[in-house]
Amino acid sequence: MPASDAQPPQPLPEPRRSQLANGAGIVEIDLPEAPVVCLDLWCRAGSAWESAEQSGIAHFLEHMVFKGSEQLAAGEFDLKVEALGGNSNAATGFDDVHYHVLMPPEAAPEALDLLLDLVLKPRLEHDDFNLERQVVLEELAQSEDQPEEVAFQELLRLACPDHAYGKPILGRREALEAHTPASMADFHQRHYRAERCCLAAAGPLADLNLVSRLAASPLAELPRAEAIPPLQPLQLQPGRTRLELPRLEAARLLMAWQLPGAADQDTVMGGDLLTTLLAEGRRSRLVEQLRERLRLVESIDLDLNVLESGCLVLLEAVCEAERIDQVEQEVRRVLLELQEPLPSEAELERARRLVGNGYRFSLEVAGSVAAMVGNSQLWGRHHSLQQPLTWLQHWDPGRLSRELIPLLHPDRAFSLQAVPA
Amino acid sequence: MKRRQLPGGCPLWLIERPGPAILSAKLWLRGGSSADAPGRRGEAQLLAGVLSRGCGDLSGDALADLVEGCGAGLRCEAAEDGTLISLKCASGDAAQLLPLLLKMVNQPWLLDDQVSLERQLNLQTLQRQREDPFQLAHDQLRRLLYGTGPYGHDPLGLDEELAQIGVEHLRQRAAGFGQDGAVLVLAGQIPAAVEELLLQGLDASSWPCRAPQRAAGPVGSGRSAFATSNDDTEQLVLMLGASTTPLGAEQALALRLLHCHLGVGMSSRLFVALREEHGLAYDVGVHYPARLGDAPFVFHLSSSSDRAAEATGELLREWQRLLEQPISQEELELALAKFRGQEALGRQTSSQIADRHALVLGHGLPFDFADRCLAEAATLTPADLQAAAQSLLAHPSLSLCGPADALQQAEAVWQRQGFSC
């Protein structure tokens, strides 16, 4: 393959990192050409920090935040942000939660003040709480009407027993019905603390003076956290099961493996390479064998979910119910063939180019840059934007085969067959 | 921005952008699923799917090796009004990849074996989609609004007709590429001598085609109708919609502002009324795609089946309100801010820029159409928006998917509160 870099690659912008006196993190990336600024507030307050009774409270809190704060009435934040030509959203994961706004650059200072007030000083008003609980229960019902989501939830429950990653982020219905504004305020006060929060900004930042602005903001007033036990390490249980699901039209083979946690970003890049080599594009091993040659599946995907307690590799193959055993055997065979001999350098180079370009393409958007550096900063990872591309180059067939391929052995997977009832 | 013309007549637009070394190319060919002949619904999508399975001197495998080996993305997809070929790559690889675009259109292999694989995959996708209640409600609404007309089917087609489409049909269809109009837009870092690259490897030194013209598109039924689909789900899915008017038509911009008012962002009317005030839904919004013909304008909502009557009543009330009351000046200004904000957010990446221009030019509209709309939108009044609603939204249809008792409750409300035929 001829070299792609005919012209010298442009250097990537560097993240500027700082910290407020109370330990809250700040990271900025100046993208002078971008048409919008993204402000992204991250907090170590995903569902993995819930106790059993708190099931679903991290995500429910994320909803309640938009119902107003000390200074903002319910809905006022959205109205102000959107009237300035921006938009906002939030997402709750297992490990963390983040709240982000995209704004025209001139409106970014105002949006910053609004965002911090909103997230750090939520009102949690009683009537709004009861109404929003209905919305969360509707969200749960909507996901239960998608049999594919039901199957994935069941896979995680069985593969990650006694771990937060095996429990639904949306929560259990009975637990949701028992939550109160007071129990939610407790969760907020415990987890939305200085060293557990960080603010990321990406876009044209020249006029924002972010650090001095934040020093006089509610982020600087946050108390430090009490001692909170760290997340429990993940121990994925291999196994097999079969499930009959109503309303399923096509069968699914789902499989889950564990890789090292997100702290090891070098290995995360290796995992990205390996899943790409196996299932990204027509010439990847699983797609070529199962979809193109044997024609057993409609689609086959392998996703790397980057998580703090242990990354999860999830496979999904969609096929006719009567072919599902054959599909499982073929997946096994492809994975066993990967164990030896070594993959070729050319095969690895294809994957490297796909992963590298995917990463470079994602840097075009302020929102994805802010999310990337915000998440890294939150978890104490301080590498440059260039670093993942360097790590990528250091994976060769031998190292991949020694360090990662054995972890994707079929016997290390939990495998679930979901078939129409 | 430069405007050129390829030998044979295809307009070529070059949008140079500073920044990352990325190139995005979009080739828009008039004639999508709406041009599928009766009895061969699904043909445009099937053809699009096999274009990348071999062309010119490259077999399907060789083509995939080239594209994936560069870490590039290449997609061919049919929508209602056109077929779109999209390429995204590192600009250093553009010289190798750009020649593929016209080769795929002019010299596709269309091998029987590859056609039957692609047909099988599409049939399986159609089957899998039937497990999604939103898809069921949406397909049913299409039939209410467009009957068996050109917009009456999903681009994937109908099972029994798709199964009948053979290689000869695809050959005839491919021979017509460009005759109804085509346009090519490149955005990002554009290589020198780009026309030569695009024509490289063609048999002739030109590709006969013409620029897309303004032309009348498919029409809707214009009548009010009602349909249900019985499914054993937790929620009832409601879709309330009408067929309206083409992109660029007289009242289309007023409808676009109504779309912003009703369905864009968390301060939008439907979000506030149905989710924030009543807790009736998690997901609620408006679907209003750009179309050459009478575009659908659709409210969508899913709500627990035990609240079916309330949800139906509220949704119908919101539609009725559009016909009866003008929105306030304040609401209009908010809608305008959202319209401008969406335009800015939709111009972040080379792909987004190329995509938006290809769509507009493919509709036979001027290159600066979006800017003209921004200027014109500022001159519209609440009365203009109400007049558009009265002339285009007076006879909506309701499509429901859910359990039997919820359907009954919803139907009773429709009978009482619905719209005359």
- For residues A310 and A377, membership in a common domain is answered with yes
Domain that holds residue A397: 239-420
**C-alpha distance from A170 to closest chain B C-alpha (Å):** 12
Q: Is A125 on the interface with B (CB under 8 A)?
A: no
- For residues A61 and A167, membership in a common domain is answered with yes
Q: For residue A9, give the chain B residue with the closest CA.
A: B21
Does B337 sit within 8 Å of A364, measured CB to CB?
Answer: no
Q: Which chain B residues have a beta carbon less than 8 Å from that of A1?
A: 69-70
Q: For residue B24, give the chain A residue with the closest CA.
A: A361
- Tell me, what's the pLDDT at B420? 58
**C-alpha distance from A254 to closest chain B C-alpha (Å):** 16
**Amino acid present at A213:** R
Q: Which of A132, A318, A363 sits opposite B20 (nearest CB)?
A: A363
pLDDT digits (tens, 9 = 90+) for B112-130: 999 999 999 999 999 999 9
- Tell me, what's the pLDDT at B18? 85
Does B19 sit within 8 Å of A10, measured CB to CB?
Answer: yes
Q: Which chain B residues have a beta carbon less than 8 Å from that of A386?
A: none
Interface residue of A137, A152, A357, A359 to substitute, partner B, most B CBs within 10 Å: A357
- For residues A114 and A245, membership in a common domain is answered with no
Element (H, E) at A184: helix A181-191
Q: Say whether pLDDT at A2 is over 60.
A: no
Closest to B91 in 3D by CA, of B26, B200, B196, B188 = B188
- For residues A277 and A184, membership in a common domain is answered with no
The DSSP string of A293-327 is IS--EEEEEEEEE--TT-EEEEEEEEE-GGGHHHH
Residue A230 maps to a domain: no
- For residues A249 and A189, membership in a common domain is answered with no
Assigned token pair, A349: 């180079």
- Tell me, what's the pLDDT at B19? 84
Q: What percent of chain A has pLDDT over 90?
A: 96
Output the CA–CA distances (angstroms, integers) from residue A262 to A103, A386, A387, in the order listed.
30, 17, 15
- For residues A75 and A211, membership in a common domain is answered with yes
Closest to B115 in 3D by CA, of B33, B171, B68 = B171
pLDDT digits (tens, 9 = 90+) for B343-378: 989 999 999 999 999 999 999 999 999 999 999 999
Q: Say whether pLDDT at A3 is over 90.
A: no
Mean pLDDT of the residues in chain A: 96
| CATH code at B2-199 | 3.30.830.10
Q: Say whether pLDDT at A188 is over 90.
A: yes
Intrachain domains B2-199 and B226-417 with the same fold: yes
Q: Is A148 on the interface with B (CB under 8 A)?
A: yes
Output the CA–CA distances (angstroms, integers) from residue B119 to A181, A311, B63, B157, in the order listed.
54, 36, 20, 10
- Tell me, what's the pLDDT at B312? 97
The torsion angle over the Cα atoms of residues B130, B136, B140 and B141, rounded to 10 degrees, is -140
Last residue of a domain, one of A162, A188, A221: A221
Q: Is A3 on the interface with B (CB under 8 A)?
A: yes
**C-alpha distance from B25 to closest chain A C-alpha (Å):** 14
Output the CA–CA distances (angstroms, integers) from residue B340 to A84, A85, B77, B365, B373, in the order listed.
10, 7, 28, 19, 10
- For residues A204 and A70, membership in a common domain is answered with yes
Q: Which chain A residues have a beta carbon less than 8 Å from that of B197?
A: none
A&B contacts, CB < 8 Å: 185
- For residues A254 and A160, membership in a common domain is answered with no
Residue A139 maps to a domain: yes
Q: Which chain B residues have a beta carbon less than 8 Å from that of A291?
A: 121
pLDDT digits (tens, 9 = 90+) for A377-409: 999 999 999 999 999 999 999 999 999 999 999
Does A87 sit within 8 Å of B265, measured CB to CB?
Answer: yes
Assigned token pair, A272: 């990205």
Does A33 sit within 8 Å of B19, measured CB to CB?
Answer: yes
- Tell me, what's the pLDDT at A9? 62
Closest to B396 in 3D by CA, of B341, B315, B334 = B315
> How many Å separate Cα B272 from the centre of its chain?
26
Rounded average pLDDT over A177-197: 98
Last residue of a domain, one of A221, A248, A263: A221
CATH number for the domain spanning A40: value is: 3.30.830.10
Output the CA–CA distances (angstroms, integers) from residue B34 to B37, B89, B179, B360, in the order listed.
8, 30, 16, 18
Q: Which chain A residues have a beta carbon less than 8 Å from that of B88?
A: 361
> How many Å separate Cα B88 from the centre of its chain?
20
Does A10 sit within 8 Å of B21, measured CB to CB?
Answer: yes
Does A87 sit within 8 Å of B276, measured CB to CB?
Answer: no
Q: Which of A78, A137, A354 sits opposite B68 (nearest CB)?
A: A354
Q: Using CB atoms within 10 Å of the CB of residue B216, give its burial: 0 to 12 exposed, 13 to 18 middle, 19+ buried.
A: exposed
Does B279 sit within 8 Å of A132, measured CB to CB?
Answer: yes
Strands (DSSP E) found in B139-211 = 182-188
Segments of chain B scoring below 70 in pLDDT: 420-421
Strands (DSSP E) found in A306-409 = 311-319
- For residues A169 and A131, membership in a common domain is answered with yes
Partners of residue B239 on adjacent β-strands? B300, B399
Q: Give me the interface pTM, i.e. the ipTM.
A: 0.96
pLDDT digits (tens, 9 = 90+) for B64-84: 999 999 999 999 999 999 999
Q: Which chain A residues have a beta carbon less than 8 Å from that of B18?
A: 33
Rounded average pLDDT over A316-326: 98
- For residues A280 and A207, membership in a common domain is answered with no
Residue A308 maps to a domain: yes
Does B281 sit within 8 Å of A138, measured CB to CB?
Answer: yes
Q: What's the predicted TM-score (pTM) here?
A: 0.96
Number of domains comprising chain A: 2
Does B267 sit within 8 Å of A79, measured CB to CB?
Answer: yes
Q: Which CATH code of 3.40.50.1370, 3.30.830.10, 3.40.50.1820, 3.40.50.720 fits the domain covering B226-417? A: 3.30.830.10
- Contact between B62 and B91 (Cβ < 8 Å): no
| Nearby residues of B249 by Cβ (< 8 Å), 6 or more positions away | none
- Rounded Cα distance between B177 and B83, Å, is 9
Strand order in the sheet with B284-287: B226-230, B397-402, B235-243, B296-304, B284-287
Mean pLDDT of the residues in chain B: 96
- Tell me, what's the pLDDT at B204? 81
Does B117 sit within 8 Å of A295, measured CB to CB?
Answer: yes
pLDDT digits (tens, 9 = 90+) for A293-309: 999 999 999 999 999 99
Residue A232 maps to a domain: no
Q: Is A337 on the interface with B (CB under 8 A)?
A: no
Does A142 sit within 8 Å of B283, measured CB to CB?
Answer: yes
Question: Beta-carbon neighbour count of residue B255 at 10 Å?
Answer: 21
Q: For residue A87, give the chain B residue with the closest CA.
A: B265
Residue A82 maps to a domain: yes
* Spans of all domains in chain B: 2-199, 226-417
Torsional sign, CA B320, B326, B327, B328: negative
- For residues A411 and A310, membership in a common domain is answered with yes
| A38 phi/psi in degrees, rounded to 5 | -110, 130
pLDDT digits (tens, 9 = 90+) for A115-153: 999 999 999 999 999 999 999 999 999 999 999 999 999
- For residues A202 and A269, membership in a common domain is answered with no
- Tell me, what's the pLDDT at B203? 81
- Tell me, what's the pLDDT at B239? 98
Does B131 sit within 8 Å of A356, measured CB to CB?
Answer: no
**C-alpha distance from A42 to closest chain B C-alpha (Å):** 21
Kind of pairing between the strands at A414-420 and A239-245? parallel
Tell me which residues of chain A, numbers 184 to 213, contact chain B at a CB-CB cutoff of 8 Å.
Answer: none
- Tell me, what's the pLDDT at B278? 95
The DSSP string of A189-232 is HHHS-GGGEEEEEEE--TTT-HHHHHHTSHHHHPPPPPP-PPPP
**C-alpha distance from B211 to closest chain A C-alpha (Å):** 31
Question: Beta-carbon neighbour count of residue A239 at 10 Å?
Answer: 13
